[in-house]
Structure 1
């Protein structure tokens, strides 16, 4: 056996193995590696896009929350203003009703006072007529007149 021949046979076998590997094994293996790299790259790109979409959604949500809070504060402020208007209106209506009742009561008091005065005048007039009758029935005597006038004054 010749070492050169063995060496040459091994080289030829090795060359055939390399050629078979390069022709039939390496391309599918390389395609699988490239496919895996492409899937990983797509996955990373999708993750980046998802992260950006999440950040955009968070920004939009924050903006919507700020807008909702602003509208809520505006609605609350309008409710406070309306409540104040209702309270002021109720107060003014209560004051007006109180003034009307006060005016009615004053009118009733004035009417009662006028009736009492008229009644008092009527009584004074009847007493004056009664006193004059008594004076005229008696004789004219200053002492008697004085007694009658004192009685009349006591009755008034």
Structure 2
């Protein structure tokens, strides 16, 4: 009987030791899990921060490119407008010079008197 009690005590002591080791392992596992969770959250935070920085850099780059493209388009439009103004002035000069030559021809064909000269000038003014 004493032997059975001793065996039972040994088994109980073994069970208590195993339970204590299990509790220690459980605590160690909890601590490891918490550490792992903290590290995971820190990594996730770092990844989000890096992603936000990259997004801001991409946005800034896109804005810069858009501003440069807009300026290029504006400059091209201004250059085109300036060329059109020059062409329009040349056409206008050609037309005015043609009218002047035509008027001079008509004046020279008519006899020179003040009334005819005045009438022709009035007609030219109306055409211009």
Tell whether the structures are fold-level matches, with TM greater than 0.5: yes
What is the alpha-carbon distance in structure 1 between the residues aligned to residue 126 and residue 51 of structure 2? 70
Aligned-residue offset at 1:31: 2.1
SS for the counterpart of 1:140 is coil
1:88 Cα deviation after fit: 1.7
1:30 Cα deviation (Å)? 1.9
Q: 1:25 corresponds to which residue?
A: none
Q: Deviations over 1:118-148 (max 9, x none)?
A: 0000111111111111111122212211111
Matched, 1:129 2:109: no
CA RMSD, aligned part only? 1.2
Who is 1:24 aligned against?
A: none
Q: TM-score, normalised by structure 1?
A: 0.77
Map 1:1-156 onto structure 2 (within 5 A): 29-156=1-128
Give the number of the structure with larger relative contact order, counting CA–CA contacts within 8 Å between residues 6 or more apart.
2
